Structure 1
Amino acid sequence: AAEPAVDGSFTILSYNVGGLPAIISSSSPAEYTHQISPKLNKYDIVNVQEDFGYNDELTSAIQFPYKTDFSGNVPFGDGLMTFSKFPLCVSTRVAWKDTHGFITDGADQMIPKGFLYSSIEIKPGYFIDIYNLHTDADTDEGSLAARRSNMAQLAEYINNRSAGKAVIVFGDTNSRYTREGDNFDETVLIPCNLKDAWIQNVMGGVAPVKGDSLMVDQLGQKGEVVDKIWFRSGRNIDINAATFELLQTEFTDANGNQLSDHYPITSRIDYKLKDTFLTTDTFGGSGGQGFSFLDKVSENKLPLSITIASGDRIDKVGFTYETGPVFAGGNGGKEETYIFKEGEYITSMTVCKATKNFTSSNRVSYIKIVTNFGTEITAGREYNNDATVFNAPEGYAITGFIGSAEDEIDRLGCIYQKL
């Protein structure tokens, strides 16, 4: 029989729910938010923005087994939530470095706007990185400059944390292709190799030119909204946004009124799994910057060596591939390199975590690696039995790392490569 074109599909929805406290909201959240809640259940992964004052109402009827924590009302929260029917493994909130406007110009400095990163396991060993975002609002020069900075910050994060991985970015970009001062296409889409679901499915692959806005009321699906869906495939999973729809009648009350001041947007994502690489969840603390070796591991070729620098904790980890060395972490600790013998590879890795001091989050304190030849390599210190063991499945070897790090390793997981 012919191989199926896709292994599965799921639906995503992005919706700015207009949940600012009623006194400053441009929507009617007190009346509408509880009506939004049950309508979200139809979708598999939902990103909402502006979830501030009415989180209890928004979550009152949801049936998602996984969701991110509520970040709080104005002025403490970022308004971002992700709901998922798939296991949600890591979530990290990142505030924008640049914002503009406290009361006027979008009032962006009243809340810690930013983006919400989540790693979602679609099938065992197959993860997609999900980004929910809400960028700086308004079109004055200060807001445009802040939003351009937001986009550059997002792109840098994707290129580090999601290297080699499948990615879907969906949220409120406050940006338009038609607006001269916005730069997301050249700043995010091109360097991160992302496609736009609206451009692909509605606009025939051609982005609109700078100039007048394409208003939804006149053009229906061809109208441009600031809410976007961007996507790309990864080394071990091909994804495609097969549809794009701007929902004009689904999220309305009995009288046909929209339940927010944004339309929701949705897409069906088709995926095809490739068994050359599998990845794991990560283990450790909440600090550090995300990294991934998935774009560097060599298909069909095992690493030449592994390097670990350690003292009281693990400072640095790395592999040397035929294409060269790849490292994550800092410059401290005693560095040791183990060169693999011909045909030797790692079959399991034990990772322990411990706090550096009373105020820090956990970091990776100890690693034990075992090869198929029975060689054991240990580094760091075993403070406790707060540990996890990554065992490569039959027919696979551990050949790369994913996780987060700065001057030390904060979190660590594995890339399994098919032998």
Structure 2
Amino acid sequence: MPRSDQVLYKLPRSSRKLSSTAHSISFRIYLTLNTSLEQPRYPLFEMKTILLSVLLPALASAAVTSGKFTALSFNVAGLPSLFQSNDVNGTKSENAKQLGTYFSKYGYDIINMQEDFNYHAYIYETDNHAYRTATSGGAAIGSGLNTISTHDWVDFTRVKWSRCSDASGSDCLTPKGFTFMRWNPADGVYVDFYNLHADAGTEDEDETARNSNLQQVADYIDTWSTGNAVVVMGDTNSRYTRAKDTAIRVFKSQNSLADPWVELEKDGVYPTTGADALLCDNPSSVQTCETVDKVLYRGSNVATLKAESFVYDGGKFTNTDPKYLGDILSDHNPILVNFTWSLSASLRQSQFSGGPHGTWFNDLPSIPSSLAASVITFSGAERLDAVALELKDGTSFSHGGTGGTKVSLTLDSGEYWTETKLCTGQYNSHTRNFYIKATTSTGKTLEAGTSTDSCQTFTAPDGFAVVGFMGQAEDEIDQLALVYAAY
């Protein structure tokens, strides 16, 4: 509490929300005043102005280096009731409205839904998440995969399975598959999220198709998520105990993904293949049983991810209609995982500039332990054609095409690339990077391409400098982010 000769001032609410990445930073300023209003020790307005002018910019620019988020995976049983009742009481439209209301109430940071087909609009009617994917259509048209979130993303993509089976049902009737996005919970923090719904059934053809589905995701991760933090969520229709469900384990062996259910509820021990199924009630009051719905994850060299808790969350999604009070709203247990993340003390990345076109590249896995850039090289003309960087140990990175005029800058000892201006524009209906300008710690600059009226400036965190790149490119640099290292 302030002393009797102090007056406590709080900033206006609009001033307390200093950064979208920091969510909100609230603080209090104590102004020491003489209790005599006639003769204040310091003029109140002058002191308040001085303090705000010093503190606000510093706090607004303070980097957020850790955080947490909640992730829910939920098969919402949205197939047309004419074809599938899902053994759920009540009308599916009203049940969907209740689900949307619950999503708003609990405010989970990211919710990945499966079977969000014909009652999608009812969920969105009562949900209030700021960011949502547009439906790909009802059953027989769309995949039923949608995401709602408290944070934005880039590079959203829908991918259809390359193989399906109707041996046990009608999996080939609708274009099931998976979605991909780079989710952006804070400045310079990205997590590649995958939402999937695999082939159902236990006939041999079903098993073959399902294993193909999961292998398709694993291979996609190797191509499009190299060097990145990853979370895979969804209805895998797989069990670790089922002998023929071999591909569910490929995420661990091929992609180094962990299962928080195994980590937190099974003491790190995966169920034995061929053992009896560990069936769950719905809703489940225990966490050690196994469902076909999964959440899998890994961190990166930039952002460490840790699963803090795992729970089958079905008890929080029950019917509120007096006729069906307490009944389930879906035939699947939703899975809730609480994650924490923290940024590396030695490696960081910038936000992305440009559009999701071209082939993914990421220098992070190849960056050596001894970090210092020696030569910066750009190529450009009407647009930005290529970027390259050579480190002092001889490691070099180059991305893009062969066009444009090449320019280079050799850095002096103790000189670092610390600021980057990138400008984008449209070419052949694609957003691309048209211009780049690098500024070093000594004020030297290097630029290439053609500037536009859509530009961003990225400044390395204090004590960090550019040592690599990530993004997408073919003949030109479609998308670009900077990799920073501490010096």
Deviation at 1:189, TM superposition (A): 1.8
Structure with greater proportional helix content: 2
Q: Does 1:77 align with 2:142?
A: yes
1:193 aligns with one of 256, 266, 269: 256
Q: 1:77-226 alignment to 2 at 5 Å?
A: 77-85=142-150, 87-101=151-165, 105-211=168-274, 212-217=276-281, 220-226=286-292
1:230 partnered with 2:334: no
CA contact (8 A) 2:408 2:446 kept: no
Partner residue in 2 for 1:396 = 464
- Residue 205 of structure 1 aligns with an amino acid whose one-letter code is G
CA shift digits 1:82-135 (9 cap, x unpaired): 2222x313141231351213x654533333323222333333333322222222
CA distance in 2, matches of 1:172, 1:266: 13
2-structure distance, mates of 1:240, 1:35 = 31
Provide the C-alpha distance between the structure 1 equivalents of 2:363 and 2:68, rounded to a whole number of angstroms: 26
> Aligned-residue CA RMSD in angstroms?
2.8
Q: Which residue is 1:289 aligned to?
A: 359
CA distance in 2, matches of 1:138, 1:316: 48
Aligned residue in 1 for 2:374: 304
Cα distance, 1:17 vs. partner? 0.6
Q: What SS class does the counterpart of residue 221 from structure 2 fall into?
A: helix
Counterpart Cα distance in 1 of 2:410 and 2:84: 61
1:17 aligns with 2:92: no
**Number of positions where the alignment pairs a residue of Structure 1 with one of Structure 2:** 409
C-alpha distance in 1, partners of 2:66/2:458? Answer: 26
Structure 1 CA distance for aligned equivalents of residues 155 and 261 of structure 2: 26
Alpha-carbon spacing, 1:178–1:7, altered in 2? closer, same or farther (3 Å): same
- TM-score for the superposition, normalised by structure 1: 0.87
Q: Residue deviations 1:224-280, cap 9 Å, x none? A: 111111112222332211221113422221433221121101112133333423322
In structure 2, the residue corresponding to 1:60 is in which secondary structure? helix
Alpha-carbon distance change, 319 to 113 in structure 1, aligned in 2, over 3 angstroms: farther
Amino acid at match of 2:124: T
| CA offsets 1:10-56 (integer angstroms, 9 cap, x no match) | 32211011112333334353241111112223122211112121122
The change in CA–CA distance for 1:20 and 1:320 in structure 2 (over 3 A counts) is farther
More moved, 151-160 vs 7-16: 151-160
Contact 2:167 2:201 in 1 (8 A): no
Report the counterpart of residue 276 of structure 1 in structure 2. 346
Contact 1:29 1:260 in 2 (8 A): no
Separation of aligned partners in 2, 1:334 and 1:181:
56
CA offset at residue 399 of structure 1?
2.1
User: Which residue type is aligned with residue 303 of structure 2?
Assistant: I
Letter in 1 for 2:182: S
Q: What residue in structure 2 maps to residue 245 of structure 1? A: 311
- Quote the offset at 1:140 in angstroms: 3.3
**Amino acid in structure 1 at the alignment position of 2:264:** N
* Paired AA for residue 455 in structure 2: A
d(CA) in 1 for partners of 2:419, 2:239? 48
Partner of residue 3, structure 1: none
* CA displacement at 1:205 relative to structure 2: 0.9
In structure 1, the gaps of 5 or more residues are 1-5
The equivalent residue for 2:16 is none
CA contact (8 A) 1:77 1:111 kept: yes
5+ long unaligned stretches in structure 2 = 1-64
Separation in structure 1 between the aligned mates of residue 327 and residue 155 of structure 2, nearest angstrom: 34
Q: Deviations 1:254-311 (Å, cap 9, x if unpaired)?
A: 4332211211011121333334233222121232333322323345512333344445
- State the 1:335 CA deviation: 5.5
* Paired residues of 1:38 and 1:62 also in contact (CA < 8 A): yes
What's 1:65 paired with?
130
8 Å Cα contact 2:240-2:271 kept in structure 1 = yes
Q: Deviations over 1:138-178 (max 9, x none)?
A: 33334333333333332233234433332222211222212
Letter in 2 for 1:214: L
Q: CA contact under 8 A between 2:358 and 2:478: conserved in structure 1?
A: yes
On the 8 A contact 2:152/2:185 being kept in 1, the answer is no
Match of 1:326 in 2: 397
Query: SS of the counterpart of 1:244?
Result: strand
Structure 1 contact 276–417 (Cα < 8 Å) conserved: yes
Change (3 A) 1:184 1:342: farther
Question: Which residue identity lines up with residue 283 of structure 1 in the other structure?
Answer: S
Tell me which amino acid in the other structure corresponds to 2:448. A
Give, in whole Å, the separation in 2 of the partners of 1:303 and 1:141: 54
Q: Any idea what SS the aligned residue of 1:112 has? A: coil
- The answer as to 2:439 corresponding to 1:376 is no
Q: Deviations over 1:167-224 (max 9, x none)?
A: 2222112222122332335422222221101111111111111223221139942221
Distance of aligned partners of 1:291 and 1:94 in 2 relative to their CA distance in 1, 3 Å threshold: farther
- Change over 3 Å in CA distance of 1:341–1:158 after alignment to 2: farther
Q: 2: CA distance between counterparts of 1:323 and 1:26? A: 63
Higher RCO (C-alpha under 8 Å, 6+ residues apart): 1
Distance 1:74 1:290, change over 3 A: farther
- SS of structure 2 residue aligned to 1:191: helix
CA distance in 2, matches of 1:143, 1:319: 48
User: Are the equivalent residues in 1 in contact too, given 2:167–2:206 (CA < 8 A)?
Assistant: no
**Which of the residues 110, 119, 123 maps onto 1:54?**
119
